[in-house]
Amino acid sequence: MKKYFQNIAIGALSLIKGLVVTFKNIFCPKITLQYPSERQSMAERFRGLVDLRVNKCIVCSQCVRICPTACLSLSAKLTEEKKKALESFKYNMELCCFCGLCEQVCPVSAVYLNKIYEVASFNRQDLYIDLLNPEKYVKFVNPAVK
Partner 1 sequence: METALKESKCITTEEFLINMGPQHPSTHGVLYLELKLDGEVALGCTVHLGYLHRGMEKIAESRTLTQFIPFTDRLDYIASMNNNLAFVLAAEKLLGLEVNARAKYIRVVIAELNRIASHLLGIGCFAQDLGAFATPLFYCFRDREKIVDIFNELCGNRLTYNYMRIGGVQFDFTKEIEIKIKEFIKYMSNKVNDYEWLLSGNVIFLARTKNVGVLLKEVAINYGVTGPNLRASGVKWDLRKDEPYSGYENFQFDIPTGINGDSWDRYKVKLEEIKESLKIIEQAIGALPEGDPTVKAGRQHKLPVGEAYMRSENPRGELGFYIAGDGSFNPYRLKIRPPSFSNLSVIAELVKGCKIADVVCILGSLDIVMGEIDR
Contact 65, 74 (CB under 8 A): no
**Would you say the C-alpha torsion 134, 138, 109, 112 has a positive or negative sign?**
negative
Coil, strand, or helix at residue 27? Answer: coil
Instruction: Tell me which of ligand SF4, partner 1, none is bound by residue 121, counting a contact when its beta carbon lies within the kind-specific cut-off of 5 to 8 angstroms.
Output: none
Stretch that binds partner 1, among 50-58, 93-101, 123-131, 137-145 (CB under 8 A): 93-101
- 131 binding ligand SF4? (CB under 6 A): no
CB atoms within 10 A of CB 73: 13
Residues with Cβ within 8 Å of 136's Cβ and at least 6 positions away in sequence, in order, are: 129, 130
Number of residues that bind ligand SF4 (CB under 6 A): 25
- 100 binding ligand SF4? (CB under 6 A): yes
d(CA 16, CA 50): 52
Q: Which of 72, 140 has the CB closer to ligand SF4?
A: 72
d(CA 87, CA 11): 73
Instruction: Tell me which of ligand SF4, partner 1, none is bound by residue 46, counting a contact when its beta carbon lies within the kind-specific cut-off of 5 to 8 angstroms.
Output: partner 1
Q: Which of 39, 90 has the CB closer to ligand SF4?
A: 90
- The 65-84 site mask, x for binding ligand SF4 (CB under 6 A), equals -xxxx-xx------------
φ and ψ at residue 74, rounded to 5 degrees: -140, 160
Q: Which of 54, 118 has the CB closer to ligand SF4?
A: 54
Binding residues (CB under 8 A) for partner 1: these are 7, 10-11, 14-15, 17-18, 20-22, 24-25, 31, 43-47, 62, 66-68, 97-101, 104-105, 113
